[in-house]
Structures are given as C-alpha cells and as structure tokens.
Amino acid sequence: MLNHTKVWSFNPCGYAFLGEHEKFTFRGASDFTDPNFISRIVKDVPIVIDWAIGNQSCSEVKNSTAYSCKEHSLCIDSESGRGGYRCICEEGYDGNPYLTPGCQDIDECTKNPCDGICKNTPGGFQCSCPKGYFGDGQKGRGCQKERDLPVLKLSLGLGLGLLSLLVSFSWIYFGIKRRKILKLREKFFKQNGGMLLKQQTSSNLNKVFTIEELKKATNNFAKDRILGVGGNGIVYKGILPDQRIVAIKKSKQLEQNQIEEFINEVVILTQINHRNVVKLLGCCLETEVPLLVYEYISHGTLHHHIHNNGGNMPWLSFQNRLRIAVESANAFNYLHYAASIPILHRDIKSANILLDDYYTARIADFGASRLRPFDQADMSSLIPGTLGYLDPEGIQMGLSDKSDVYSFGVVLAELLAGREAIDLTLPNKEKSLAAYFKASVKENRLFQILHHRVLKEGSLEQLNAIGELVVRCLNTKGEERPTMKEVATELEGFTKYNSRTWAHHDQENNQLEMGEMISEQEDLYSVLMYTSTNYDTSSSDQQSTEISAKREENPLFDD
C-alpha cells in the first residue's frame, strides 16, 4: 500500500481498509504522517461485513435440507432486506453453529458464579449451599451457617403460634356470636308465630324474608332509606336482588297474646288482590319486632298532594279528587265485604292513601287493622287511629266498620275543603275539620269552606250531594252512618252528574230578576272564588268573582 507509483500526484492516499463508517474519523493530512495510524485503526474501528446464508427466511428454510443451523443453535433472519438468515448459539452454549456437532455447553462454574456449590447444567448452572449452611448460594447473597438459625426459628415459631391462636380465638368468638344470633333469630321466628305462619300459608301466597335479605335491601336500615314514620312504625325503602323496589315496615312491639291474630292478618292480607290496595309481599319474623314487606308506591301520600302548594298541584282537579274518593271507597268496601274475613282498617286518613305512577289511589298501612265479624266491636284498651280522624263513638263504644266510614268522611272533607283534619292554628270552631264541615253545611255555608278549584270545577248538584254524604258519614251515631258499600255507590253516582260548574249555573241565573232570588228571610253571604292562571279560562284581569246567595229551607245553597 506504500507504493505510490500509479497514484496521481494530487492523491497521496496510502491506506485502504474495511470498517464501520460511524467509528472512523478522518483527521486530515496528519493521518498520513502518523506512525500509529494503522494500530489506531485496528484498535478503534471494527470491521463489519454484512452477510447471510441464501435468500430464504428462517421459517422458510427450517424444514428443508438446506437448513445450516446445527444443534443448540438459533436461526435469525437477516435484516439487510435481501433475505437470508444466520445462526447463533443458544444461551449457555458456545461454538460454531454451522458445523457438526453444533454449539457445545459452556461450563459456567469455571467462572465461579456462586458463593456456595456450583453445579453445571445444560445451558446453565445451579447454586447451592454446603451442608451446615442455608441460603440460595447465589453470588452476593451467599450462604449462612445454621448456627445463626435458632433465634430466627424461635421468632418465626412464636409469631406463627400467636397468629394461629389469634385466628383460632377469632374463629371461636365469631362462631359463638353467630350461633347466638342464629338462636336469637330462631327464638324471634318462633315467638312471632313463624311456625304458625308456615302451617297456614302455601309457598305461592307470600314470602318469609330473612333479616339478612332486608338488611341488604335497605343498606342496613339506613336513615336515608326512611320513607316515613307513623304511629304504627317506620317504613323503609328497599331494593330486592331482583331489583324490585319495596316498602319495608318495621312495626311496633307485638304483644305475645296478639301473635296468632297477627299471623292470621298476614295470611289474609297476602291474599288481598285489589287494584286499589297496596299488596303485602311477605314478612320477616327473625327480629324482635316483625317486619312487613309491601310493594312500593312511588308518588307519596294523598295528604302531601292535598296540603302542599295549597292543593294547587296541576293534576289535583275536582274530577281527580272525586276519582280518588271513588277508588278509595271501593277499596275499603272490598276490605269490609269482599275479603274472606271482614277487615277493619281502623286508621283511615289521607296519609294512608298512596298514589302510584298514574295517580291511582292505593290503600296502605294496615298496622292498626283487625279481622273480625262486624257484630263484634273492638274494645281494645288502646284505641288506634289518628287525632282528627277518630270516630268519637268508637272511642267510647269500640271501633266498628262504621268507624272506618267516619274516618273516610274526614278524608272526603279534606278533599273538598283542602284543610287539615286538625289545625291548631285556626280559631276554636275551625280547629276540627269534621265539626267545622258539619257546622258549615248546617248553616248553609258549605261553599265558603270549599277549595277554590273544587268550587270552580264541580257542579252545584255534585257539591251539594257530596256535602250531604260527608255529613252523613260524620254522624255522631254510628248506626245512622251509611255503610262503606253505600258510600262507594253514591260517590260513583256523583261522577255521572252534569259537569256544568257552579260558575256556569250562576251565569245562567243572572238573567233572572233579583227579586226572584231573594226571599223574605234573607241570609246573604259572599263567597270569594279565587282564580288561577293554571286553570282559569276567563280573561287575565279577572281575579275574583263575588257571588251572593241566600239560604232556604231545603237546599244547602241556592243561587
């Protein structure tokens, strides 16, 4: 390479070599005069030759006779882009992968990779500790003499022993506690008449829930699941595993002498199938106080709709009030006369009439109910019911089916007047709705106490007739009250009355002479009919209409 005789004078190059391009840096003319240039290139610049066997990939050549990789070798596809492959030895092996017998096992133990005993294996090695030592023998972790073990073994033994004792005692404690809970549930189940209930029911009539099912359904009876608190207990909202929403009632303490009667009631109530009565789905007897599971009714109580927002909820028209009265009366009539044993509700009030998704009336809360023939009055020392709805005669003589009629009469008065059954903020004569309603009818002042929507939307004949029915229901003598069957029949008849409102009736009679409207015995009073932009079809500037009327002997009101 030092013969320059055939090289142009402008090209004094005296070296030529193969090498990796990125590893060589040309320093200029000094490289030609540097005596160490050759040794530096040999040392720093690796020779790279990119080659491959054939033009087939490993997957293509492996099963052919042309495959050149021998035993304990791996085939690698060439990355040149022109095909072909090369062979390398597997890990733990060394040699020429192209010549027989192929790659040979490397004895790694010659490099002393272990702190303990090294054992060579094909393609690898294993480390272990000699006798009297423990550990894995790996380099850096080493082996320790067994004389250091007793303290460690003792510590581990004590720790495991204490852990075993703790687990054992915990298992025994919770086992005993669980047995006590199961025994207590079994005791309550028997105490609450569970065996009697099993004897009297078939599997299709109702379900006896476990307390665990109801705890899970109510999130362990969480406060945010409470739907309401009443005189007979607390009602929770629950979600069963099948995603049914239910109302779970936790009743008050059940006396021992009432168990058989309670079970009989559960059996009867689970058989009630009326569209206007809330269905009893089952019960739980594993607690001190029995739990009753009812279907869930979504739109709250009638009491809420009557008394919230001044009774001006859009749907609460006079016709819907009358419909709810008819549906409720039919349900109570069913309980009194269609059930296998007559059922007295004994706590009828607007708060116990629920409304479903379609605002259909559903009778609820049978906590105070009793099953008995109607010729046997309930002479319990503790009279159930709610102040304002209680039958005065029933308090003295014992509750009967006519006591339910009285209470329902108060509900009808609520629907008509939009007033609370008892309102202590009003003057004495108006505190009791029942007494005030009867007095208003007697004094021909019925239309003064009616809710403005009822007054505007109901016809004169309807309002007069319903007012008379309410007074009959509120009669202080039970025997002179109508039966629930008669109440339901009359209310259904009222729905067929002429739908002309009192306002229309008055407009027609305004054409009569004033002299024909006033008799010698004058008793004039004004009734203010409030209008509402939601319901009034008159002009927007008309805010009220004052109507004069007089009282005659027979009609409650005559315009």
Residue 98: pLDDT above 70? Answer: yes
Partners of 77 in the β-ladder = 85
**CA-CA-CA-CA dihedral for 272, 276, 277, 279, to nearest 10:** 80
- Helix axes 484-494 and 318-333, enclosed angle (nearest 10): 150
| C-alpha dihedral (391, 392, 398, 399), degrees to nearest 10 | 0
Residue 479, CB-side half-sphere exposure with 13 Å CA sphere: 2
Q: In sequence order, what DSSP letters do the residues of 211-257 get, joined into one string?
A: HHHHHHHTTTT-GGGEEEEETTEEEEEEE-TT--EEEEEEE----GG
Whether the per-residue pLDDT at 543 is higher than 60: the answer is no
pLDDT at position 559, please? 34
The CA-atom distances, in angstroms, between 117 and each of 110, 114, 126, 458 are 12, 7, 8, 107
| Cα separation values, 504 from 417, 455, 545, Å | 21, 11, 12
DSSP structure class, residue 53: B
**Residue 112, helix vs strand vs coil:** coil
Residue 390 has pLDDT above 80, yes or no: yes
Contact (CB, 8 A) for 275 and 360: yes
Q: Render 26-52 in DSSP notation, one character per residue.
A: ---THHHH-TTHHHHHHHHS-------
More confident residue, 273 or 425: 425
Predicted local distance difference test score (pLDDT) of residue 411: 97
pLDDT digits (tens, 9 = 90+) for 304-329: 999 987 667 888 899 999 999 999 99
CA distances from 378 to 386, 497, 524 (A): 16, 38, 46
Q: How confident is the model at residue 515 (pLDDT cuts 50, 70, 90)?
A: very low
Q: How far is CA 158 from CA 36, 147, 162, 169, in A?
A: 73, 19, 6, 16
- Weakest-pLDDT range from 175-189, 414-428, 520-534: 520-534
Q: Which two tokens stand for residue 277?
A: 């009565």
* pLDDT above 70 for 273: yes
Task: Tell me how far apart the alpha carbons of residues 194 and 207 are, in angstroms, rounded to a whole number.
Answer: 12
**What tokens were used for 177?**
């506690």
Range list of H helices, 495-536 = 502-509
- How far is 197 from 264, CA to CA, in rounded Å? 8
Positive or negative: CA dihedral 477, 478, 480, 484: positive
> Can the peptide bond before residue 373 be classed as cis, meaning omega within 30 degrees of 0?
no
pLDDT-based confidence at residue 136 (cuts at 50, 70, 90): confident
Catalytic center residues: 347
Q: For the residues 78-99, what does the mean pLDDT come to?
A: 89
Mean pLDDT of the 126-130 span? 88
d(Cα 27, Cα 474) in Å, to the nearest integer?
122
Domains, the chain: 108-141 (no CATH), 181-296 (3.30.200.20), 300-373+384-502 (1.10.510.10)
- Cα angle value 311/317/323 (rounded, 5°): 110
Residue 276 tokens, joined: 């206007």
Q: Is 187 annotated as a binding residue?
A: no
Q: At what angle do helices 433-442 and 460-473 cross, to 10 degrees?
A: 120
Helices 401-417 and 433-442 pack at an angle, to 10 degrees, of 70
* DSSP secondary structure letter of residue 335: I
Which pLDDT belongs to residue 514? 34
In terms of pTM, does the model score above 0.85? no
More confident position, 140 or 471 = 471
Residue-wise DSSP of 125-168: EEEEPPTTEES--BTTT--EEGGGHHHHHHHHHHHHHHHHHHHH
pLDDT of residue 260: 62
Q: Which of 66-80, 247-261, 500-514 has the highest mean pLDDT?
A: 66-80
SS (H, E, C) 163-211: HHHHHHHHHHHHHHHHHHHHHHHHHHHHHCCHHHHHHHCCCCCCEECCH
pLDDT (tens digit per residue) in 457-494: 998 888 999 999 999 999 999 999 999 999 999 999 99
